[in-house]
Amino acid sequence: METKPAITPRQIAVLLILIGVATLVFVVYVLFSRVGKNEVEISVVPIDSIVTIGDQTLQDGTHYLTPGRYNTTTEREGFKTDVRPIEITPETDRIAFAIRPKNKLGEDYLKDNPDEDLRYEAAGGIDSQSEGKARTEAFPVLKKLPFISPDKQYAIDYGTTPDLDNGAFVLIGNSSTRGRAEAVAWLKDNSVDISNFDIRYDDYVSPLTDRKTSERGY
Beta bridge mates, 78: none
Last residue of a domain, one of 138, 163, 182: 138
Select from 49, 102, 107 the least CA-distant residue to 79: 102
Cα–Cα distance between 147 and 186 in angstroms, integer?
10
Which pLDDT tens digit goes with each residue over 87-129? 888 888 888 888 899 999 999 999 999 888 888 888 877 776 6
Query: Could you give the percent of the chain with pLDDT greater than 90?
Result: 15
Do residues 130 and 162 both lie within one domain? no
| Per-residue CA distances from 79 to 23, 111, 142 (Å) | 42, 14, 37
Q: What is the pLDDT of residues 131-185, one digit of tens each?
A: 666 667 677 888 888 888 888 888 888 877 655 555 678 888 866 788 888 888 9
In a domain, 113, yes or no: yes
What is the pTM assigned to this prediction? 0.51
Mark whether 42 and 134 lie in a shared domain: yes
In a domain, 178, yes or no: yes
Do 46 and 124 lie in one domain? The reply is yes
Closest to 99 (Cα-Cα) out of 54, 48, 65: 48
Within this chain, do residues 77 and 114 fall inside the same structural domain, yes or no?
A: yes
- Domain of residue 66: give its range: 38-138
Quote the pLDDT of residue 218: 29
